[in-house]
Amino acid sequence: MPHTAAPPRGYVFDNDSPHSAAHHRHLEHALDPLTLDRLTGAGVAPGMRCLEVGAGAGSVARALARLVAPGGRVTATDLKPGRIAPAPGLTVLAHDIVTDPLPEAEYDVVVARLVLQHLPRRREVLGRLARALRPGGLIQIDEFDADHEPCLLAPTEEDARLYERFTAAKAALMRASGGDPGWGRRTAGALRDAGFTAIGIRPHVLVRAPGTPALGLQLHHLAQLAPRLAEHGFAPAELARLRALMDDPGFAAATGVLYSVQARRPPLPDTRHAAPPAPAAVPEANEGNPEPT
């Protein structure tokens, strides 16, 4: 697959930022257990060929490579794949899922986690992923519904309002970049519309409390977005208060719902035992009867 060295489009969080290594580490600790449990439960097994798009730092791709060994192969793609460490059975590619080609009917499993919600042409990309799957193959899309990330505990009501103002601004910045923060709740319907069958949905909510990977993610979101938040009306004192609030033992919040959605590309119809076509009807001869008038 050739690649295009294009800048990220519609993606709020940059793989090359000073915060990205910690960001990916928190993602791995917070979400890999769910993602990999779903894949294992769906029967990912040795010998399979897998594709992960938007692989980030590659923790899921490396785990997949272990699951499909021996004999299997995993391709991990990202616009900026420099943080994906090599591993046996793993091919790493710089690839733009929006514009670069994918081989058709190549993979048994396709995985995309927290990718499509950032892409303006997400339904088009979903169609391309469908064509990359072999008939009967599995797709797993894990996406947040980030439209609602409530504060559950805060020292004051003012703190709670400040936190929810931050999460609303984060969602607005995603929309301004062409993303859809509510994509998680629309994923199953989009898979159905793309022709997938056997759709299975598992919702999951994480608590953001001090010391948890989920809160670590939010702190890195705040750090990356601070300049843009300032442009959207957050005063320096408010940004400092948000950082202190999320370190306060009296603080807790919930993530939006993470929807882990699996589906299958329909298998080709089995024609081995199909009945032969009926012979074409032959008009009977009219013996001795006059033609009707």
pLDDT confidence of residue 21: 81
pLDDT confidence of residue 278: 55
Contact in structure between 170 and 221 (CB atoms under 8 Å): yes
From CA 3, how far away is CA 67, in angstroms rounded?
27
pLDDT confidence of residue 15: 61
pLDDT confidence of residue 22: 83
pLDDT confidence of residue 11: 57
From CA 264, how far away is CA 130, in angstroms rounded?
9
How does pLDDT run across 178-203, given as a tens digit for each residue?
A: 999 999 999 999 999 999 999 999 99
Sign of torsion over alpha carbons 45, 53, 213, 160? negative
Tokens of 200: 């299975």
pLDDT confidence of residue 203: 98
- Domains of the chain, earliest start first: 20-264 (3.40.50.150)
pLDDT confidence of residue 292: 43
pLDDT confidence of residue 2: 45
DSSP bridge partners of 203 = 259
What number of H helices and E strands is found in the chain? 7, 10
211: region left, alpha or beta (phi > 0 left; psi from -120 to 50 alpha): left
From CA 262, how far away is CA 111, in angstroms rounded?
9
Q: Give the DSSP H or E segment for 207.
A: strand 207-208
pLDDT confidence of residue 10: 47
Axis-axis angle for helices 236-246, 157-176 (nearest 10): 110
How does pLDDT run across 127-139, given as a tens digit for each residue?
A: 999 999 999 999 9
Q: Which residues of the chain have pLDDT under 50?
A: 2-10, 282-293
pLDDT confidence of residue 286: 45
Q: Name the pTM for this structure.
A: 0.85
Contact in structure between 184 and 256 (CB atoms under 8 Å): yes
Q: Give the DSSP H or E segment for 136.
A: strand 133-144
CA atoms within 13 A on the CB side of 145: 15
